[in-house]
Amino acid sequence: MPRAEITDLLLLEELLTDEEKAARDTVARFVDREVLPIIGHHFREGTFPAHLIPGLAEMGVLGANLQGYGCAGMNTVSYGLILQELERGDSGLRSFASVQGSLCMFPIHAYGSDEQKERFLPGMAQGRLIGCFGLTEPDFGSNPGGMRTRAVKDGDTWVLNGAKAWITNGAIADVAVVWAKTEEGGAESVRGFLVEKGMPGFSAREIPGKFSLRASVTSELSFQDVRVPERNVLPKVTGLRGPLSCLNNARLGIAFAVTGAAIACFEGAREYALARKQFDGKSIAGYQLTQEKLADMLQEIVKAQLLSLRLARLKDAGKATPVMVSLAKRNNVKAALEIARTARGVYGANGVTDAYPPIRHMLNLESVFTYEGTHEVHTLVLGKAITGLDAFN
């Protein structure tokens, strides 16, 4: 499907550098050629298109905004744009890239030892090693400080016990960045552990029955007396600051990315409305109610694009704050979800089939609405910034 010129109504193209456009366009061509023809099948079958990983690595997508160790070293705008194109393909594929780069490679890059960086990052950038991020637990999502996973020091190893849930890439991961409380037991005792596939007592199983992110691997992790050597403990961070900084890093990319799903739904609905004839052969795009839906969708896409671009520029200037990221994640995911729902209506009954993109994106975005901080949590983050009062307690 050709891209609609109207989608860039405010000429944001003029605000991008040649390097940023090139990164975006390279991934856009990959999505058009390699992802869109097969992603519906994978979503229907509930399988992850792992054969695409080498292509992602070749384009520099994995750990794209990190420096050194074979990473592409892109700026935040380029990183956001390539995630937007992956999301235009499917949230499952973009989630894979987000977790690999922002949640696994980033903490090793930021908080790991030189030996850990050399051991893991080049292979992860090349897609030879897959990572996952173990923070959420069956009973603790929005309250990570309540985690029950524990690590107890025993000589030169740590003995890890507990469980993590809703872990993207979990069952295919070679290394899991697992956050656990240590002997002291409080939130400030949290440490990061690099748990490798095959360590005795470590297991991962896929979560069955998903209606969302079906083209993605979502797992539960179990740790039963897993002995993790000291060399696999992240040495440069303690407390919740570690995992929360990873989440903040990932949220910015997600806020930028979800506009890709919105664009896919809008442009598909526009093409469908122009082609669909009703009532004496008139295109449904010529009716007022359809035009209102298309206008509403475009309005929210342009607003999200502006918000994402400004936030990414602030990040590269060292001025972005967690509150800014919460605003962008909250606004853009909600807008993308509403656009997917509205686009589904334009297709009529055809919109509930996976022959067209809106229902797949809509189901995926229900998960994105919840993960990386629920919509409600980001609401309270903004509420505290506005009033100075903490509604979490």
- For residue 103, the number of C-alpha atoms closer than 13 Å in the C-beta half-sphere is 32
pLDDT of residue 110: 97
Q: How confident is the prediction for the chain on average, in pLDDT?
A: 96
pLDDT tens-digit series, residues 28-77: 999 999 999 999 999 999 999 999 999 999 999 999 999 999 999 999 99
Which of 96, 371, 176, 230 minimizes the C-alpha distance to 162?
176
CATH fold match for the domains 5-126 and 242-387 = no
What integer is the mean pLDDT of 132-157?
92
Confidence (pLDDT) at 280: 85
Query: How many alpha carbons fall within 13 Å on the CB side of residue 164?
Result: 27
Distance CA 305, CA 138 (A): 34
The CATH code for residues 5-126 is 1.10.540.10
Residue 267 dihedral angles phi and psi, to the nearest 5°? -65, -35
Instruction: Give the pLDDT confidence score for residue 2 in this predicted structure.
Output: 64
Catalytic residues: 372
Domain covering 242-387: architecture: Up-down Bundle (1.20)
Q: The pTM is what?
A: 0.95
CB 300, CB 333: distance < 8 Å: no
DSSP 233: B
Structure tokens at 24: 């975006």
The string of pLDDT tens digits covering residues 288-320 is 999 999 999 999 999 999 999 999 999 999 999
**1 has pLDDT over 60:** no
40: its two tokens: 């519906």
DSSP, collapsed to helix, strand or coil, labels residue 163 as: strand
Q: Take residue 283 and report the two structure tokens written for it.
A: 């295109």
Rounded to 5°, angle at Cα 307 from 336 and 270: 40
- Kindly list the domain boundaries of the chain, sorted by start residue: 5-126, 131-238, 242-387
Instruction: Report the range of poorest mean pLDDT among 82-86, 94-98, 241-245.
Output: 241-245
- What pLDDT is recorded for position 363? 98
pLDDT at 333 over 90: yes
Q: In Å, how far are 114, 149, 250, 297 from 236, measured between CA atoms? A: 11, 20, 20, 44
Task: Determine what percent of the chain is predicted with pLDDT higher than 70.
Answer: 99
CATH topology of domain 131-238: Butyryl-CoA Dehydrogenase, subunit A; domain 2 (2.40.110)
